[in-house]
Amino acid sequence: MTVIEVKPSVARQFSRASKRYHKAATVQQQVGRNLLAYNPVRKAQVAIDLGCGPGSFAPALASVSEQLFAVDLSPAMLQQCRLASDKVVAVQGDAQYLPFTDSSVDLIFSSLALQWVSDLNSVFEEAQRVLKPGGSLVFSCVMEGSLWQLKKSWLKVDDYDHVNRFASVASLEQSVRQAKLHKAIGVVRPHTFWYPDIRTLFSSIRDVGANTVIGAKRKGLIGRHLWQKFHDAYENYRTDEGLPLTYQIYYGVVSK
């Protein structure tokens, strides 16, 4: 699927989820708080919250920046972001084509947005372009090996892509080097979340707008028989805590 096809689909899904995002975003909130702790920039003239969503981290970022731009593909998410903080300037934009001049930004903060970009090379090259010398890109990204319980359970049903394919650590770090950015931090941390049943688990993905599958996915609805087959396969992972869903999250800090 081409970039042109993917981006409108992603934007639509996140726009639909904009009003229920805060309530459902357990994964996103935890990862974002962790990422804020990695941020080495304590005072920025200009900062960007890239893939800002509904502005969950805008207040914290506004406290360390004189001017904060919130950038997202989704107009509805930007509207929610404006409600989260009156100190942000909301900009509909694309991580691959940032609407900022060269060497004009001190900090780019991006939590759980980069996995939706088809070309990581262009993202890091754009970051290199707009960052001031010494400026930092602080980001988290869902990586290869995430949602493995979902993937293995769907393989019991068919060979279609029901789960997105995520970048490997090696490919991401190659993109960083290619962009001539300097890695200060690059660590992968697993995060497992637990759900009482499979429908609640799916809601945790759908209600934050993260249910777009990029690739050769099945057309139409799954029949009752195949759904039961998937359900039974996932139940094999149940523990006393519930049904697990594991994310492999890359936390990165790179500088120009």
Cβ-Cβ contacts under 8 Å for 153 (sequence gap 6 or more): 230, 233, 234, 237
* Tokens encoding 101: 């001049």
Look at the domain 3-145+165-190+248-255 and name its fold: Rossmann fold (3.40.50)
Query: Which pLDDT does position 205 carry in this prediction?
Result: 78
221/42: higher pLDDT: 42
Residue 12: pLDDT above 80?
no
Average pLDDT, the chain: 85
Q: How far is CA 219 from CA 16, 116, 136, in A?
A: 21, 21, 42
pLDDT tens, residue by residue, 160-184: 777 788 999 999 999 999 999 999 9
pLDDT band at residue 80, thresholds of 50, 70 and 90?
confident
Residue 220: pLDDT above 70?
no
**Gap between the Cα atoms of 156 and 81, Å rounded:** 40
Contact 109, 61 (CB under 8 A): yes
pLDDT tens, residue by residue, 38-79: 999 999 999 999 999 888 899 999 999 999 999 998 888 888
**Most confidently predicted of 6-10, 43-47, 78-82:** 43-47
222/219: higher pLDDT: 222
78 burial via Cβ count (<10 Å: 0-12, 13-18, 19+) = buried
**Gap between the Cα atoms of 185 and 58, Å rounded:** 22
Residue 231: pLDDT above 50?
yes
Provide the residue ranges of all domains of the chain, joining segments of one domain with +: 3-145+165-190+248-255
Across 17-21, 24-28, 52-56, 124-128, least confident range: 17-21
**Gap between the Cα atoms of 12 and 110, Å rounded:** 20
Residue 21: pLDDT above 60?
no
